[in-house]
Structure 1
Amino acid sequence: NRSAVITRRATQDKQSFRNNLLYPRFAILDPEYTYSLPPVQIANGVVDAFVHIVEQYLTYPVDARVQDRFAEGLLLTLLEEGPRALAEPENYAVRANIMWTATLALNGLIAAGVPQDWATHMLGHELTALHGIDHAQTLAIVLPSLLNIQREGKREKLLQFASRIWGLEDGDEQQRIDGAIAATRDFFERMGLATRMADYQLDGSSIPQLLLKLEQKGLTALGERQDITLAVSRQIYLDAR
C-alpha cells in the first residue's frame, strides 16, 4: 500500500504518512518467509489485519454491499485461520490465506467508496510510542473500548457485524452490540493478545500525556464522523484501563 509509520523513540513519537510514490511496482508474497516468525508476531499480524478491516467496515452504512461482503469475508477468514496459524506454524495454506487477507485488508480494495475510521490506530500509536507496547497489542486494547464508546454512531454497522460475523441474532440491539464487542475481545485474547491497559501494568495515569500527544499532532477530531474529540479519546482510554 502507500502508507508507512515511523517511530522516533527519543521523543516518544509515532507518525504515519502516505504517498502514492510508496506503492510498490509489484510485490512477491511468499508464505514460507513467515515460518520463522515467533508466535507473538503471527498473532500481532492477524489482529492488525483484523483491525485494518474494521477501520474501513465498522463505520456507517452507505449501501456499499460489495465492499461490505469483501470485508466480511476477510474477517471470517482471519477468525478461521488465525488460531490455526498459531497451532500449525508451518501450514502453507493457512499462512497463504492469512498473507493474502492481510494484503487485501490494506491495499485500498475494501476502502473504495466507503467511509473510514482509523481512530483506533491513532490512539494505539500513542500507547506504542509512550509505553513500547507492540502496535497490534495497542489495537487490541483500544478497539473494544472504542466500539463501546462509539456504539451509537456505529449502531447499524455494529448490528451487521454482530449478525454476519458473530452470528448474533437473539436479544435486543444493545445486547447484540455487547455480544459483538465481547466476541471481538475474546478473539484477540484467544490469539494471545491482552485487551486491557492493566494487563501491561498501566493504571491510566499516563492518559493525560497520551492526550497531549494527540493534541500536539492535531488529532482532535478523529473517526469517520470526525466526532472523536480529545474528550471522547479520554473516555476511550479510560474504558480501556
Structure 2
Amino acid sequence: MNNFVFYSPTEFVFGKDTEMQVGALAHKYGARKVMIVYGGGSVVRSGLLDRVKKSLQESGVGYCEFGGIQPNPVDTKVYEGIEICRREQVDMMLPVGGGSVIDTAKAIAAGVPYAGDFWDFFIGRAKVSRALKVAVVLTIPAAGSEGSGNSVITKVDTLQKLSLRVPELLRPVFSIMNPELTYTLPPFQTACGVADMMVHIMERYFTNTQDVEISDRLCEGTLTAIIKEAYRLKQNPEDYGARANIMWCGTIAHNGTCGVGCEEDWASHFLEHEISAIYDVTHGAGLSVVVPAWMTFAAEHHPKKVAQFASRIFGIPESEDLEEMALAGVARLKHFFRYLGLPVNFKELGIEHPDIDRLAENLHRNKGEFVGNYVKLTKENSKEIYRLAL
C-alpha cells in the first residue's frame, strides 16, 4: 500500500425530505447568497426547485438562479455563471441535480475568485488556490460529484473534455441526498448512473499497487452491492431500499474511499471522454462500451487483476488460465450491462463509423504519450481498444 492523504470533510444529509434542510445547512456554513444551478425542467416540474427556494427564504439566505446546464457540461456556461456570480456577489454554489450540474458549479466556484481564465486550471496552467463553497442537492446518482473534489468540463471550441481534481477546495461542504428524488429517472438514465459508479470503482481496483487487500475488498463489496441493487431497481423502480443503496454506492465509488493507498488507472474514463466530447453521448453509456473493450485488452496484456475481478464479482471459477478467466468475466459484465439496457459496442451507442484515428490522436494530445497505469497505453494500444469496441 502506498502512502496517502485522505481528506473527505463533506457532511452528507441522507434520507426522505432532507431537501427541506437546505436553508438551515447553507446558513450553518455561512452562506449569505447562493447560486442555485440546475439543468432542464425536471427540478421545476417536480416542485424541488420551489422547495429549495422556500427553505433558503425561511433561513434568510439569499439566492439567484442559473439554469440550462446540459449533459456533458461546457465551458461557455461556466463563463456565464462566473459573471453572474461576481455581479450578484454569490458566496456559495448550490447545484440541484446530477454530475453535470455539480461539475459546472465547481468550475464556477474555482473561476470566480481567479483573475485569469478558469480553463487554466483544467489544462494545468494554474492551480486552484481559492474557491467559493459548494453544496449539493443530488437528484441523479452516478458521477459521485456530491462527495468528490472533481469536475469535468468540455471546451466547445476545441472539443477537449478535461478533468480537474481539487479535493481540498472543491469537495462540497454538505450534500443532501434523498433517494425519493430519483424515482422519476428514466430506466436508461438510472442504468447509465450504475455504469458510471461501477467504473469509478474499477478505475481504482485495477491497480498494480501491492498489499491493498482492504481497498480490493471495499471495491468488490461495493460493486457487488451495485449489481444486486440494480437488478432490484430493474424490477421495481420505486424500491426505496434499492434507490437508497444505489445512491450511497455512487458516493462511495468516487469520494476516494475505494482508492486509498492505490495507484489508480483512469484509462477507461479518458478513452470515453474523447467519445462523448466528439459525439456527445451519455457518459455512462460510453463507459459501458469502453470498459469491456479495455478489459479485453487488459486480459491479454495483464490479466491478473481482471481475472480476480471475474472470480470475486461474477463467480468465474478459478483457473490457471488467467486470460480465459478474465474474458469470461468480461462476457458476464457485458451481459449485465445489456440487461440494464446499456450499449456494449459503438453501433449500439449509435456511432456506426467512429473516427478511431481522431479519438486516439485527441486522447494522447490531451493526456500525453502514455495513458493509464494498470497497462500504460500507447496511441496504438488506444486504437486497438477503440477497435475492440466496434
Is TM > 0.5 for Structure 1 vs Structure 2?
Answer: yes
1:222 to 341, 355, 371: 371
Residue aligned with 1:117, SS: coil
| Higher mean displacement: 193-202 or 142-151 | 193-202
TM-align CA RMSD: 1.7
1:17 to 147, 150, 164: 164
Deviation at 1:58, TM superposition (A): 2.1
2:383 to 202, 219, 234: 234
Deviation at 1:199, TM superposition (A): 1.6
Residue aligned with 2:255, SS: coil
Q: Which residue type is aligned with residue 101 of structure 1?
A: C
Distance in 1 between residues matched to 2:220 and 2:325, nearest whole Å: 17
Asked whether the 8 Å contact 2:364–2:370 carries over to 1, the reply is no
What is aligned with 2:348?
A: 199
TM-score by length of structure 1 reads 0.94
Distance in 1 between residues matched to 2:213 and 2:374, nearest whole Å: 20
Name the % identity.
37
Residue aligned with 2:367, SS: coil
What is aligned with 2:297?
A: 149
2:306 to 153, 158, 164: 158
Residue aligned with 2:176, SS: coil
Distance in 2 between residues matched to 1:58 and 1:198, nearest whole Å: 27
Deviations 1:33-80 (A, max 9, x none): 111211111101111001111110022351211111111000001110
What is aligned with 1:103?
A: 251
Deviation at 1:2, TM superposition (A): 0.6
Are residues 108 and 216 of structure 1, via their aligned partners in 2, closer, same or farther at CA, if it must alter by over 3 Å? same
1:47-66 correspondence runs (5 A): 47-60=195-208, 62-66=210-214
Deviation at 1:11, TM superposition (A): 3.3
What is aligned with 2:285?
A: 137
Distance in 2 between residues matched to 1:10 and 1:43, nearest whole Å: 30
2:189 to 17, 30, 41: 41
Distance in 1 between residues matched to 2:311 and 2:305, nearest whole Å: 10
Asked whether the 8 Å contact 2:286–2:349 carries over to 1, the reply is no
Distance in 2 between residues matched to 1:125 and 1:153, nearest whole Å: 23
What is aligned with 2:316?
A: 168
Deviation at 1:189, TM superposition (A): 1.0
* Structure of higher RCO (CA pairs closer than 8 Å, 6+ residues apart): 1
Name the structure with the higher helix share: 1
Are residues 40 and 173 of structure 1, via their aligned partners in 2, closer, same or farther at CA, if it must alter by over 3 Å? same
Deviation at 1:152, TM superposition (A): 4.6
What is aligned with 1:179?
A: 328
Residue aligned with 1:105, SS: helix
Name the structure with the higher strand share: 2
Deviations 1:127-161 (A, max 9, x none): 10111111011111111111111225542211211
| Higher mean displacement: 222-231 or 98-107 | 222-231
Deviations 1:73-101 (A, max 9, x none): 00001110112223211111101100111
Q: Structure 2, unaligned stretches of length 5 or more?
A: 1-147
Residue aligned with 1:151, SS: helix
Asked whether the 8 Å contact 2:155–2:161 carries over to 1, the reply is yes
Asked whether the 8 Å contact 1:214–1:220 carries over to 2, the reply is no
What is aligned with 1:4?
A: 151
What is aligned with 1:190?
A: 339
Count of residues paired in the alignment: 241
1:114-125 correspondence runs (5 A): 114-125=262-273
Deviation at 1:10, TM superposition (A): 4.4
Residue aligned with 1:150, SS: helix
Are residues 67 and 15 of structure 1, via their aligned partners in 2, closer, same or farther at CA, if it must alter by over 3 Å? same
Residue aligned with 1:211, SS: helix
Asked whether the 8 Å contact 1:204–1:237 carries over to 2, the reply is no
Asked whether the 8 Å contact 1:60–1:153 carries over to 2, the reply is no
Deviations 1:180-233 (A, max 9, x none): 011111111111111101223434441111122113313431112562111110
| Higher mean displacement: 126-135 or 146-155 | 146-155
Higher Rg of the two aligned structures:
2
What is aligned with 2:238?
A: 90
